[in-house]
Amino acid sequence: MTDVRRRRGSLVDALRSDERLLVLPAALTLLVFFVVPLAMLVGISFSGDTPLAAYRKFFGSAAAMKILANTVTIAAVVTLVCAVVAVPFSLALSRLPPAYARLALLGVTLPMWISLLVRTYAWLYVLAQEGVTNAALEAVGMPGAPFPLLFNWGSVTVGMVHILLPYMLLPVHNAVTMLDPQLMRAARSLGAGSLRIFATVILPLIARGIATGAILVFILSLGFFVTPQMLGGPRNTMIATYIDVMTNTTLDWPRAAAASTVLVLGVLVCFAILSVLSRKQPQAAP
């Protein structure tokens, strides 16, 4: 019997192994250009005077710890702001006629085609002392203008949210389009107000979309380099800048690699949380 099965299955098996072969180019590319370099990076992090010297230096530096805390905090704030903007925006989109909704979505994703650097530079001129915003405030006679709008957490957050919003918006929008309008109608007919409908019907159903977006935005935020360096002030240093200084200025590669490894581990933890979340969350009702 097993023989028969094996013979009958041989074609299917052959096909299966062919399918497996199809994964090979991608797997090899990842191996050579990602897994191996990453392993080497981890290797470099242990190549200091003693294997753990680089980590000891990294964790022993008060500045590095402050920078690590900065990085996690700003990533969390940016994620929160993106979610707060993306959820109402997606709900509004779902009310628009499809043609307008597509246009509005395009409006949000189009900036992704513009260089990150150009967009960051644009913020410098929008928020500068003699920039557009302050000129407008002065023109309407706002007392106290011009305000120092640049080089603080506010300007860093604005710049990063502008760049990262699409990563939150697209998964949330996806979840919102899968909402069954009948559920909302049913809830309303049973007497629920708008806020109650949002909290008890909509939010639980789109939570997975928000979680996906949140993890994406959070992970991308952790590695941000140009935006905090240009829009941030002296106290707004993030870890990518620190790694850059260790790599390019002091040439302390073990410590740069140690900081990178810590960052990579942080990201892996986020991915683990994401996969647990996606397993636990029930699918939206069909």
Which of these ranges, 99-107, 195-203, 226-234, 275-283, lies near other proteins under the rule CB under 8 A?
226-234
Q: Which residue has the tokens 């597509």?
A: 102
CA 175 to chain centre: 17
Look up residue 128 and give its DSSP letter: S
| Residue 162 C-beta: closest distance to other proteins, Å | 14
DSSP, residue by residue, 82-105: HHHHHHHHHHHHHHS-HHHHHHHH
Q: Which amino acid is at 277?
A: L
Locate 163 and state its tokens.
């760049």
Options 66, 102, 185, 196; binder of other proteins; rule CB under 8 A: 66
Locate 19 and state its tokens.
């399918």
Options 184, 220, 274, 284; binder of other proteins; rule CB under 8 A: 220
- Rounded Cα distance between 95 and 92, Å, is 5
Residue 211 sits in the site that holds other proteins (CB under 8 A): no
**Contact pattern from residue 153 through residue 192 relative to other proteins, giving x for each residue in contact according to CB under 8 A and a dash for the rest:** ----------------------------------------
228, 241 contact by CB (below 8 A): yes
Residue 147 sits in the site that holds other proteins (CB under 8 A): no
48, 59 contact by CB (below 8 A): no
Which of these ranges, 12-20, 78-86, 193-201, 249-257, lies near other proteins under the rule CB under 8 A?
249-257
Q: Residues in the site for other proteins, rule: CB under 8 A?
A: 33-34, 36-38, 40-41, 43-44, 61-64, 66-67, 115-117, 121, 124-125, 128-131, 146, 148, 150-151, 216, 219-226, 229-230, 233-235, 237, 239-253, 256-257, 259-260, 263-264, 267
